[in-house]
Amino acid sequence: MSYLEYTVKRVPTGLAKVLYLNWALILLLVAVAGIGFLMLYSVAGGSLSPWAEPQMKRFALGLVMMFAVAMVPIWFWRNLAGLAFALSILLLLVVEFFGVTGMGAQRWIDLGFMRLQPSEVTKITLVMILAAYYDWLDIRKTSRPLWVAIPVVIILIPTALVLRQPDLGTAILLVAGGGLMMFLAGVHWAYFAGVIGAGVGLVTTVVQSRGTDWQLLKDYQFRRIDTFLDPASDPLGAGYHITQSKIALGSGGWTGRGFMQGTQSRLNFLPEKHTDFIFTTLAEEFGFLGAFSLLVLYALIILFCVVSALANKDRFGSLLTLGIAATFFLFFAVNMSMVMGLAPVVGVPLPLVSYGGSAMLVLLIAFGLAQSAHVHRPRGRT
């Protein structure tokens, strides 16, 4: 179903659109970002610089962009999906050859006022193009092999480019995000079962082959996998960060050690305390209550997106909103699992809380798209 079948007369126009925005969602986003400012202020030792203040400015800029995006009708964005995706692939190629490498793997383009990471942009453009693809595709063809192969290729192109950087965290998010889009669009269960089954089978075979004559990987490769899966086996290297992170989190207790009283972050035992590991500072200083509150806020954001999407009769808008919610979920789920020692350390920031310009702007633009879908949703039949 597309907007073309609906009369657009009842869609709000002009400034009236502002009234139809999903204001609860906006308030939730501001609340989460507020927690982020507080934590950035704390990890800087009670100072707005160097992190809290730039973060606030970017959030303000992001909010403006979110409103701007939300004002533009959703069908415009749908038509732009292909172009946006192509552009993000182009940017990935540009940084591949001309980009600046910093902080290990992240590559960016310096825009002067901020550094743009094309890999962040891609997370959203991928959702957009997949939503547009399934909006266009006849639903009876959804599960046919050829029409399943096309989105797989669409997902694998940016994934391959990001893996080359190498940025494993983003690659995982792209594959998972894309996969979830296909799942939402209604691709048959069997495909997912097949892929998951094949993956499990492959991993089992490789692990089983260890120590036998037909060993599939070299010994050192196995050891690297060991360290990746169980950082505690390398307590001074990769394990150090995750150990310190768990100590910080656990030592928070019920109510935490108090604002700016977290010894683990204040004394620099935490790695990357303003970016990937900022959740541990929150958990250390505000305890289980603080950490759980943030989780509840995140859950509410997801909930409002799902509700908005399910109420939306427009297929593109609905898929897009669900896809954005899923991507958002993947961000914090991977990040929290990582700092709690449930998942290996891959560089994924905590959405809207971690310090970082690209990720925040891209997320807010994505929520702008969701808002646009919400505002311009079809209302009743002609």
Partner 1 sequence: MRRTPKDTEESARRITRRGLVLGGLQLGFMGVLALRMRYMQVEQADEFRLLAEENRVNLRLLPPARGLIYDRNGVVVAENEQNYRIVLVKEDAGDVDAVLDRLQRIVRLDPEEIERIRRETDRLSPFVPVTVADRLSWEAFAEVAVNAPALPGVSPEVGLSRIYPLAEDFAHLIGYVGPVSDYDLGQLENPDPLLQIPRFQIGKVGVESRMEEVLRGRAGTKRIEVNAVGRVMRELGRQEGRPGANLQLTVDSMLQNYVQVRLGEDSASAVVLDIKSGDVLAIGSAPSFDPNKFVRGISVADYSALTENEYRPLANKSVQGVYPPGSTFKMITALAALEAGVIRPDETVWCPGFKEVGSRKFHCWRRGGHGWVDLRESLTESCDVYYYDVAERVGIERIAAMARRLGLGQRYDMPMSAIHPGLMPNKAWKRENRQAEWVIGDTLNAGIGQGLVLASPLQLAVMTARLASGTAIEPRLVKSVDGAEQSGPGVPPLGIDARYLQMVRKGMHDVINTRSGTAYGSRIEAEGIRMAGKTGTSQVRNITAAERAAGVFRNEDLPWNRRDHALFVCYAPFDDPQVACSVVVEHGGGGSLVAAPIARDIVLQALYRGTPPLSAYPASQRGTIRTRQEKLILRDPATLTDGRSRA
User: How far apart, in whole angstroms, are the C-alpha atoms of residue 321 and residue 369?
Assistant: 8
Question: In DSSP terms, which residues pair with 110 in a beta bridge?
Answer: 115
Rule CB under 8 A: choose which of 97, 98, 214, 254 binds partner 1: 254
**Position 38: which residue type?**
L
CA 173 centroid distance within chain? 7
Stretch binding partner 1 (CB under 8 A), from 27-35, 94-102, 318-326, 366-374: 318-326
Binders in 115-154 for partner 1, by CB under 8 A: 136, 138-140
- Give me the least distance between CB of 322 and partner 1, in Å please: 5
**Site mask for partner 1 (CB under 8 A), range 73-112, x = bound:** ----------------------------------------
- Give me the least distance between CB of 140 and partner 1, in Å please: 8
- List Cα–Cα distances, 225 to 55, 185, 208, 215, 220, in angstroms: 36, 34, 14, 14, 9
- 312 or 358, CB closer to partner 1? 312
Rule CB under 8 A: choose which of 69, 336, 338, 373 binds partner 1: 336
- List Cα–Cα distances, 275 to 2, 64, 248, 347, 364, in angstroms: 40, 23, 15, 9, 18
Rule CB under 8 A: choose which of 41, 329, 355, 367 binds partner 1: 329
Residues 6+ apart with CB under 8 A from 223: none
Query: Residue 271: which of 252, 250, 308, 243 has the closest Cα?
Result: 243
316 touches partner 1 by CB under 8 A = no
DSSP category for residue 8: S
- Give me the least distance between CB of 327 and partner 1, in Å please: 11
Binding-residue total with partner 1 (CB under 8 A): 54
Rule CB under 8 A: choose which of 63, 152, 157, 303 binds partner 1: 303
Residues 6+ apart with CB under 8 A from 324: 124, 127, 305, 366, 367, 369, 370
SS3 355: coil
**CA R_g for the chain:** 22
**Site mask for partner 1 (CB under 8 A), range 178-207, x = bound:** --x--xxxx---------------------
- Give me the least distance between CB of 373 and partner 1, in Å please: 13
Stretch binding partner 1 (CB under 8 A), from 74-82, 104-112, 156-164, 261-269: 261-269
Query: Residue 148: which of 208, 188, 175, 119 has the closest Cα?
Result: 188
- 310 burial (CB, 10 Å; 0-12 / 13-18 / 19+) is exposed
Residues at the site binding partner 1, with contacts judged by CB under 8 A: 1-2, 5, 136, 138-140, 180, 183-186, 244, 246-254, 263-264, 266-269, 283, 287-288, 291-292, 295, 298-299, 302-303, 306, 309-310, 313, 315, 318-319, 322, 325-326, 329, 333, 336-337, 340, 342
